[in-house]
Amino acid sequence: MTTTTARRATAVVLGALAGGLVRLLAQLVHGDVLVPVGDATQPVSLWQVLAAALVAGLVGWALLATGERWVPALAAHWVAVAALATAASLAGPLGMPGIAAADRLWLAVTHVAVAVVTVPLIARTRAPRATRRPVAAPAPGAAAR
């Protein structure tokens, strides 16, 4: 395992743990965080938070790795893309009908906590521009235009 891989894996796990800690704090301070499921409500479990945070972190990692390898412009703007993804993730807790205000707050704080930990830690693993692989090298002997 390379240092970059280890650091990115650590970032994903720490982000999930941040979300899990917020969920545990919500349980202590507020009780169950409830979301509507059909005609009833269902509590959001710690395991659901951990799983969702891990998936989100892994998707972010994959997006950055893809950008570094094949789409350098994407890698250069990865933090902005991650911030937009975080904002989009808030549409669920803030826009879904049938969620109590306190539950909306805890869900939103959970989303933001995961992002605040994961995004900067993964962003620090980006390779410096000079060492990134070029998209395509010019053919040998090709004349410059």
Regions in the chain scoring below 70 on pLDDT: 128-139, 142-145
**Residue 130 pLDDT:** 47
Per residue in 70-79, pLDDT (tens digit) is: 988 888 899 9
The string of DSSP letters for 122-136 reads HHTTPPPGGGSPPS-
Could you tell me if residue 53 is inside a domain?
yes
132 belongs to a structural domain = no
Domain count, the chain: 1
Owning domain of residue 26: 3-126
Please say whether the beta carbons of 34 and 99 come within 8 A: yes
Alpha helices in the chain (DSSP H): 3-29, 46-70, 72-76, 78-89, 91-95, 101-123
For 12-33, what is each residue's pLDDT tens digit?
Answer: 999 999 999 999 999 999 999 9
Task: Report the b/e string of 29-53 with b at 16+ CB within 10 A.
Answer: eeeebbbeeeeeeeebeeeebbebb
* Predicted TM-score (pTM) of this structure: 0.85
Q: What one-letter code names the amino acid at 129? A: R
d(CA 34, CA 101): 10
